[in-house]
Amino acid sequence: MAGDNLKGIGDKLVVEVKIKISQKLDSLNSLVKELKKSSDEIGAITVFVGVVRGTREKEKVLRLEYEAHETLAPQTIEKIIDEQKAKHGVIDAIVEHKVGSVQVGEEVMYVLIASKHRKEGRLALAEIVDQIKHEVPIWKKEVTEKNVYWVENA
Amino acid sequence: MTVVQVRYFGKLRELVGVKNEEYTVKEGTTVADLLLSRIPEKHSEVSKTWAETLFRTIKSEIIRNKDGTPVLDNYLIMINGKSAKLNGKLRQGDEVAIMPPFGGG
């Protein structure tokens, strides 16, 4: 229940950032609904969906395998979102990232940003996705028809 | 003696074949001692690959800073969730996470 995360601060209702790193993502619709509950000032929800690509250069990808540091990964994402909320003035955010084996075409990461207007939402979304790739202790192994690669985000 | 937990991730976990290990070290042992000696001694069958993966090397020789500490190859060492210096001393109960470059998203 999203309401479990609600905290009253003065006359404002603040929802804590929701971060989930697990083998299953929630439905995108349910996350949008949940995010909308955080404030009636929300005018835009900007969404990034990461999908497992089926090719690596000319090789056919079979699957990706993800692992994460179970405490540091969500803590780091929370810190990134807090920084971005302060920087861009967005209202709230949800991040979900899969771990374990993920097949080609499957969705692997959701980032949703709630903001008053689309402009700050888009800016925050782009920066948060980049930061998740470079700063969060998550590792990815790409299994192709020919080989296995540990992918390091440049 | 000091007991610490070591956690491996990604390609290093595959290399050593375990996720976690406990090491009992002498008081005053540094993070660099653990990475340069204790772990490769225990995993001697992969010690060369260990060094070449974790550290910057030239012709299998580990590059060192002026103070003698080895130079990591974009790896991050965290102790109890905080970034650690290689010349820092290990303390009882420390959790040492050895983390390859990240690949999320």
Which among B81, B100, B79, B101 has a CA at the least distance from the CA of B34?
B79
pLDDT score of B5: 98
Q: According to the model, what pLDDT value does residue A14 have?
A: 47
Residue B47 lies in a domain: yes
Domain that holds residue B84: 2-99
Chain A and chain B share a number of CB contacts under 8 A equal to 66
Is B105 within the bounds of a domain? Answer: no
pLDDT less than 70: residues of chain A: 1-17
CATH of the domain at B52: 3.10.20.30
pLDDT, tens only, A106-142:
999 999 999 999 999 999 999 999 999 999 999 999 9
Q: To the nearest whole angstrom, how far is the Cα of B77 from the nearest Cα of chain A?
A: 11
| A97 neighbourhood in chain B, CB within 8 Å | 104-105
Would B56 be classed as within a structural domain? yes
**In-domain check, residue B27:** yes
- The torsion defined by the Cα of A150, A67, B47 and B41, in degrees rounded to 10, comes to 180
Contact A66 B104 (CB under 8 A): yes
Judging contacts by C-beta atoms under 8 Å, the chain B residues touching residue A50 are 105
Q: Which residue of A has its CA nearest to B7?
A: A69
In a domain, B104, yes or no: no
Q: Is A69 within 8 Å of B100 when comparing Cβ atoms?
A: no
Write the pLDDT tens digit of every residue in B64-95: 999 899 999 989 999 999 999 999 999 999 99
Q: Could you tell me if residue B83 is inside a domain?
A: yes
Please state the ipTM of this predicted complex: 0.91
* Among A71, A72, A139, beta carbon nearest to B103: A139
Domain for residue B33, yes or no? Answer: yes
Half-sphere exposure of B81 (CA within 13 A, CB side): 7
Query: Number of folded domains in chain B?
Result: 1
In a domain, B46, yes or no: yes
* Whole-number pLDDT of residue A154: 77
The rounded distance, in Å, linking the Cα atoms of B42 and B37 is 9
